[in-house]
Structure 1
Amino acid sequence: MTLLQVEQLSKSFGGVQAVQGVSLALQAGEMLALIGPNGAGKSTTFNMVGGQLVPDRGRVLLRGQDIAGLAPRAIWRRGVGRTFQIAQTFASFSVVENVQLALLSHDRHTFRWWPRAAAHRRGDALALLEQVGMVAQADRPCSELAYGDVKRVELALALAHDPQLLLMDEPTAGMAPGERVALMQLTRDLARARQMGVLFTEHSMEVVFGLADRVAVLVRGQLLAEGTPQAIRDDARVQQAYLGTGLVLEAQQ
């Protein structure tokens, strides 16, 4: 069964149709990049999948169950994780404590977390940090980390919920080019190992064309093209839509 099936999603704001009849599909273990020029409807589509926006029409099926219109927390409880454009951690807490707090939330102990965090599933938290290459810095405060390392910690926080689907909103924003590729290569490896689907928006075409399994292109709220990175790179309609933006040139370097 398809992990994520988006069917004819539409959303208007006043008289502006931000998204018009967008349909997408994502398989377990697959990385799907959602790209488009500014104002194309990427964020609106992304936020309808994650529950931040309620669609006017259409369905969002997670393993066959419609989650469209549910609150973000209800969607999270159904196995949908998320990272954000600006990484969000508790800066004064240690790296491992941040992951322990995420595990407390997953285990539904959020109202008793303060006295229990330091003791809660430390071994599991360290194992997650091992997966993202951060176990050596487990006891450092997050405030002392380089930004690229904070993004790795944020990924561990998302994985603490053991998601079926991971939504990543501009995951490499603010990162150096080498860090971008390393983070998303790690994400792809984890997606394969966990059979976790990843839907992400991204401006770095090096990341999109180098690491996504498939790419979906939105223009003026509609799905213009969807396919493998090579097929999208060679698509004349995509080249025309991005004319002057640098997408095609960067993709071919």
Structure 2
Amino acid sequence: MSLLAVERLNKAFGGVVAAHDVSFAVERGEMLALIGPNGAGKSTVFNMIGGQLPPDRGAVLLEDKAITLASPQERFRQGIGRTFQIAQAFHSMTVCENVQMALISHHRESRAIWTEARQHHRRDALDLLSQVGMAEAADRSCSVLAYGDVKRVELAIALAGEPKLLLMDEPTAGMAFRERAALMDLTHSIARTRRIGILFTEHDMDVVFGHASRILVLLRGEIIAAGSPAEIRENAQVRQAYLGNAPALTGAP
């Protein structure tokens, strides 16, 4: 049984087909990259899996349970976490308070927001921050952090929901080269240790080929290739889609 199964998803906007019969699976502990040129349909597919868009046809299953029509909130409660292209954090709060708020939400303790919440789940929050290398910044305001550090905090926030599956939309966008490699190394380690499935979109081919277990390639709403980084690098149809008649797709070996 796959962790996530996507079965023949279809989505059109007027006469524009954004996804056509898209099917694939994500396994536990796997990092699966979803790539394609601009306008290929990546965001549409990603948002149908996350619950932001309903498909016209098809199904999304988490551990064989249909979640096709579930809201993003329901998917979160069933074990789907998400990070965004533009990092999401409360800049008026400290690093630790951001993660504590996520833990309060995960445990459905909304009443704690109206009381003194500063000590709720602080120890658990510090543990999560330690896992992403941000424990020393726990009491700093998110507003003063470097962007790469905010991305790490966002990852801790996502992990607070104890996800089985983590959706990462352009996780390294806006980050310096070294920050990108460090974040994806960390994500890969967490996925392997926790057996979390990771589905991510990314434009940086070094990130994709350096960290993905498998790669899916979308073009005009259809999957044109799926395989290991080595298989995708040598795929003639993929090279054509990305680089015309270039001899090979670039990316880390």
Deviations 1:149-191 (A, max 9, x none): 0000000000000000000001110000111111011001000
CA–CA distance in structure 1, aligned partners of residues 244 and 181 of structure 2: 24
Corresponding residue SS for 2:33: strand
Q: Give matches, 1:208-227, under 5 Å.
A: 208-227=208-227
Aligned residues between the structures:
253
Deviations 1:49-86 (CA, angstroms, capped at 9, x unpaired): 00000001111110001111211111111100000000
Runs of at least 5 residues in structure 1 that lack an aligned partner in the other structure: none
User: TM-score, normalization: structure 2?
Assistant: 0.97
Taking a change above 3 Å as real, the CA distance of residues 110 and 232 of structure 1, as seen in their structure-2 partners, is same
1:106/1:23 CA distance change after superposition, 3 Å: same
What root-mean-square deviation, in Å, do the aligned CA atoms of Structure 1 and Structure 2 show? 1.5
* Contiguous gaps of at least 5 residues in structure 2: none
Contact 1:205 1:247 survives alignment (8 Å): no
Alignment partner, residue 138 of structure 1: 138
Q: Aligned partners of 1:111, 1:217: CA distance in 2, in Å?
A: 45
Partner of 1:94: 94
Paired residues for 1:143-182 under 5 Å: 143-182=143-182
- CA distance in structure 1 between the partners assigned to 2:119 and 2:245 by the alignment: 50
Q: Which residue in 2 is equivalent to 1:76? A: 76
Change (3 A) 1:54 1:135: same
In structure 2, the residue matched to 1:36 is 36
SS at match of 1:207: helix
Aligned counterparts of 1:38 and 1:119: Cα–Cα separation in 2? 45
Partner of residue 201, structure 1: 201
Instruction: Tell me, in whole angstroms, the C-alpha distance in 2 between the residues paired with 1:42 and 1:187.
Output: 21
Taking only the aligned residue pairs, the percentage that are identical comes to 61
* Runs of 4+ displaced beyond 6 Å: none
One-letter code of the match for 1:10?
A: N
Match of 1:241 in 2: 241
